[in-house]
Amino acid sequence: MIRFLALFALLLAGGPAFAQSGSAAAALEAARRAGTVAAYDRFLARHGKSPLARTAREERERLRRASAPAPVAPPRPEPPARNGSYQ
């Protein structure tokens, strides 16, 4: 009886598409908890056509930008050594 009610509730909620979006929501939350670009890549590989994919791509891009190393300025050239004479 419980299985029947669960199946009936799933069908009323939109069938397998709803179940998949619930799965995608849980996977996106897992990627957020992990907080890595790789976790978002895994989410997008599995749920790239999900309604949540756009959100995941935006969050992935923000994370990628935030974790990118700051550009390093080239070292300044050293002034020529003085040998005591002025030219």
Q: Convert the pLDDT of each residue in 47-64 to its tens digit.
A: 999 999 999 999 999 999
Residue 9, domain member (yes or no): no
User: How many domains are there within the chain?
Assistant: 1
Range of the domain at 62: 14-67
Which pLDDT belongs to residue 84?
61
DSSP letters for 46-86: HHTTSTTHHHHHHHHHHHHHHHSPPPPPPPPPPPPPP-S--
Note whether residue 43 is domain-resident.
Answer: yes
Domain membership of residue 3 (yes or no) is no
- Domain assignment of residue 58, yes or no: yes
pLDDT tops 50 at residue 25 = yes
The share of the chain scoring above pLDDT 70, in percent, equals 70
* Domain-located, residue 52: yes
pLDDT of residue 53: 96
**How many helices (H) does the chain have, and how many strands (E)?**
4, 0
Confidence bin at 76 (pLDDT 50/70/90): confident
